Amino acid sequence: MIKKVLLILLSVFILEIDAQENVKEIDQYEISLITAGPGNDFFSAFGHSGIRVVDRVNNYDIIFNYGVYDFDAPNFYLNFLKGRPIYSLGINQFENFYRSYVNQSRQIIEQKLNLSEYKKRVLVNKLITNSKEENKDYEYNYFKDNCSTKIGDIFNELLEEEIRNAGINLDNMNSSSFRQLDYQHLAPNSWGALGIDICLGSVIDANITDRDLLVLPYNLKLYFDKLGNSNIKNGDFVETSILFGEYAEYKETSFSPLYVFLILSLIIIVVTFLDYLRITRSIFLDITILLVTGLIGLLLVYLWFFSNHIASAWNYNLLWAIPFNLILLFQLLKKNPNKWIISYLKINVLMLLLMCLHWIVGVQVFNISLISLILALLIRYLYLIKYFSK
């Protein structure tokens, strides 16, 4: 209801201004890019962006942001699993937005933009149009269409000539792939990075464009810093101020995956060594390895082939998380398994070696936590080949 009232009032105000063709242009609007810093959980680790609009004449202060979603919307969770979550452009009172982020102890940065009054009205009109019920929804894509890229696209269109004349580029942001962008906010040795590195494929290791860099809100902020340091408005285009707090990176407090995987790998290696000494086989260990790697493999196959998560394509984690391990699982439960499992295990060894090759030549960057696990799996598979070949 509040959003509808705001839209009606905004539309009326703009129509009134546009109707005054012979009236001297007045400095009615104040436009700012708002950047919120990372939060304390994984889903807020990358920050947030919004456009603040202050109307001095009609005395309102609101923020437009493309990060609105509704858990109660029909099929929200199903669409999320399919890689087709629906997000919306929302309108909020800036005071409410501000208090929400202050309560989370997240930094808030404001960059006031020295736009002409005409371009301010063009921008506000576009935001109002995009906020209408029939226009507000969009299919969210973290790497291509999110709260930050939407805003970047709007300003790139609005300031196309100025940006072209100023020769603005983002070449020195030190990120050549989406995975490296993620590492700007997630330490490689973190559970968040591990989840991304396992579930997303080699497509996020491809070279990216300047536009792709704007997927991160803080990079959008840096982009506007560059605009402010350019010759646009004689270097007086952006006025930056910190409204609250200091920049603080998202940090995980639990044991790192590298530490946990190292312990698990040592367990696999020690048990394998004991099996070697006793000339036996720990069935429980083999069942656990095949079950876990097989289930992870099924998840990766779903994400690649049966969902709209385009970033999950060409995922070579399938070289160690092999879905067919679930078939081998039933064979190893038998007292006398079929001899073909020897050939299958040799293929698994080959897959692990191929994974290492892909890693070395840069086809895909794998999570550093997997190093010890891959070594442990290699040792276990080689032992099983020897054991079943006797």
pLDDT band with cut points at 50, 70 and 90 for residue 167:
confident
> What number of helices (H) and strands (E) belong to the chain?
15, 7
Q: Mean pLDDT throughout 358-379?
A: 96
Can you say how many angstroms the Cα of residue 82 is from the centroid of all Cα atoms in its chain?
Answer: 16
User: Do 94 and 219 lie in a common domain?
Assistant: yes
Q: Clarify whether residues 312 and 343 are in a common domain.
A: yes
Residue 185 falls within a domain, yes or no?
A: no
Q: How confident is the model at residue 184 (pLDDT cuts 50, 70, 90)?
A: confident
Does position 46 have pLDDT exceeding 80, yes or no? yes
Q: Which two tokens stand for residue 50?
A: 């919004």
CA distance to 63, 94, 172, 303, per residue, from 215 (Å): 19, 23, 16, 21
Residues 225 and 330 in one domain: no
Residue 123 lies in a domain: yes
Q: What band does 283 get if pLDDT is binned at 50, 70 and 90? A: very high
For residue 110, being part of any structural domain is answered with yes
> Residues 232-260: pLDDT tens digits?
777 678 999 999 988 777 666 668 999 99
In a domain, 192, yes or no: no
pTM of the model: 0.86
Please give the tally of structural domains in the chain.
2
pLDDT per residue as tens digits for the range 62-98: 999 998 887 776 776 677 777 788 899 999 999 999 9
* 109 and 223 share one domain: yes
Q: Which residues pair with 52 in a beta bridge?
A: 32, 63
Which pair of tokens denotes residue 210? Answer: 């300047």
